[in-house]
Amino acid sequence: MADRENTKKEELVDGIVYCDDLAQADAEERGVLPRPKETVSEIDERGAFVRQPNRFVTPFGDGEGELKAESGRYHLFWAKGCHWSNRASITRELLGLEDVISISIVDRTGKSNVYGWGFTDQPGRTDAATGLKFLSEAYRNADPDFRGRATVPALVDKQTLKVVNNDYHRLTNYLEVNFRPFQAPDAPDLYPKALRTEIDRLNDWLFPNINNAHYRMAFCQSLVAYDEAYDDFFSAMQKLDERLESRRFLFGDYVTDADIRFFVTLTRWDSYYYKNLGPQKKRMTEYKNIWAYARDLYVIPAFRNNTYFKDFSKVPATGNAFKSYNERFAGQIDYEGLWSAPQDRKNLSRDPEEKFLRHPAGETAQDYAGPIAPCRWNIPGTQV
């Protein structure tokens, strides 16, 4: 029975059928190839995860060859579980760009997501807004030779159905600056000119130490690389908790672009990421300032509306993309060494060389005998 369960090619979740055979038929229809596995193609010789570069990084601007900010021209693809793209969906709503940039939320394809992002939860497994069945079609439209993973966020030109930008490092900045003419009249300033250098500096530090630290831990194939990412993350969390002791947000009184980047990782840490990461030093909620700060952001509608706790927290521990910590590392962990490392507990004892009480010499079994009372938990009615 267990074997039959494992080899089933479909799964029913909330009334949606995730079927590998259907995904394969769709892929054949659209000429789409399986997605490359990051745990194979994005691992360096030390076993560390080294992320593929963003393929489409043409900036927005008025210069030659730059992308023109326009209302109604672009479509944003994002995924509920993906914090890189969640940044863009939160920023879009904070700035009141809902009528300027349309969106679709991508879904996995089939049970095993062999073909990457698609639209299984939409009728006919086809995106109503664009007619795509796979996000990779828009990547291929833009670059027929692209062989990497088709990732979100992806900003697509609706006229050509080509991805024009998937640069999550800068996408929110373009929405903040280049799309300024299209923002709501009361849109907040998330990227104040006077602070841009400092915001960029902090964002560039958040990337490896906070945002990508999860992926560094989740995809790496060696304990050395895992431990590096782990140390980076928890030391950064400590620093950020201290920073937030005296500041309401990362740059003081007002929410900036940097807060959005930190928030999207925080929402996923205790609820989702920990499942693939093994034992953690501390839960996010144990950082007093960070935890209160995260909630302060969460109650802002654009943050709350774009945060799908239920969806990402129910992704199975060993989901389609991730392998659990134990699966990756059990063979590399020196349990024997760990558990045999010296400790100095014997200094606490008045009999330091002896761990057991010995029976006095000459004691007989008879001497030792005596009544043994029933265990209280065996008494009917006391079971817990």
Ligand X SMILES: N[C@@H](CCC(=O)N[C@@H](CS)C(=O)NCC(=O)O)C(=O)O
| Contact pattern from residue 37 through residue 66 relative to ligand X, giving x for each residue in contact according to CB under 6 A and a dash for the rest | --------------xx-x------------
87 contacts: CB under 8 Å, gap ≥ 6: 153, 168, 171, 172, 260, 261, 264
277 contacts: CB under 8 Å, gap ≥ 6: 214, 217, 218, 325
- Considering only 79-87, 94-102, 274-282, 291-299, which stretch makes contact with ligand X by CB under 6 A? 79-87
- Considering only 10-18, 77-85, 186-194, 342-350, which stretch makes contact with ligand X by CB under 6 A? 77-85
Among 97, 152, 213, 237, which residue sits at the site for ligand X (rule: CB under 6 A)?
Answer: 152
DSSP SS3 for 24: helix
- Contact status: 168 vs ligand X (CB under 6 A): yes
Considering the complex, what minimum distance in angstroms separates the CB of residue 260 from ligand X? Answer: 15
Name all contacts of 180-186 with Cβ < 8 Å and 24+ positions apart.
181/69, 182/69, 182/71, 182/97, 182/100, 183/95, 183/96, 183/97, 184/95, 184/96, 184/97, 186/96
Residue matched to tokens 């560390």: 48
Considering the complex, what minimum distance in angstroms separates the CB of residue 117 from ligand X? Answer: 6
- 229 CB neighbour count, 10 Å cutoff: 23
Instruction: Kindly write down the DSSP assignment for every residue of 68-93, as one continuous string.
Output: PP-TTSEEEEE-TT-HHHHHHHHHHH
Considering the complex, what minimum distance in angstroms separates the CB of residue 45 from ligand X? Answer: 20
Binding residue count for ligand X, defined by CB under 6 A = 14
- Contact status: 117 vs ligand X (CB under 6 A): yes
Q: Is 293 a catalytic residue?
A: no
Among 26, 74, 76, 116, which residue sits at the site for ligand X (rule: CB under 6 A)?
Answer: 116
- Contact status: 84 vs ligand X (CB under 6 A): yes
- Contact status: 151 vs ligand X (CB under 6 A): yes
Task: Output 244 or 277, the one with its CB closest to ligand X.
Answer: 277
DSSP SS3 for 180: helix
Among 18, 20, 23, 35, which residue sits at the site for ligand X (rule: CB under 6 A)?
Answer: 35
Task: Output 36 or 278, the one with its CB closest to ligand X.
Answer: 36
Task: Output 61 or 319, the one with its CB closest to ligand X.
Answer: 319
How far is it, in rounded angstroms, from Cα 384 to Cα 373? 19
Q: Is 82 a catalytic residue?
A: yes
Considering the complex, what minimum distance in angstroms separates the CB of residue 78 from ligand X? Answer: 9
Eight-state DSSP code of residue 195: G
Query: Which tokens is 328 given?
Result: 């990756």
228 contacts: CB under 8 Å, gap ≥ 6: 48, 216
> Could you say which of 82, 115, 230, 325 is catalytic?
82
Among 92, 133, 140, 149, which residue sits at the site for ligand X (rule: CB under 6 A)?
Answer: 149
- Contact status: 261 vs ligand X (CB under 6 A): no
221 contacts: CB under 8 Å, gap ≥ 6: 39, 43, 47, 49, 328
Whether 280 contacts 270, CB under 8 Å = no
> Could you say which of 18, 74, 215, 272 is catalytic?
215
- Contact set with ligand X (CB under 6 A): 35, 51-52, 54, 79, 82, 84, 116-117, 149, 151-152, 166, 168
Active-site annotation, residues: 82, 215
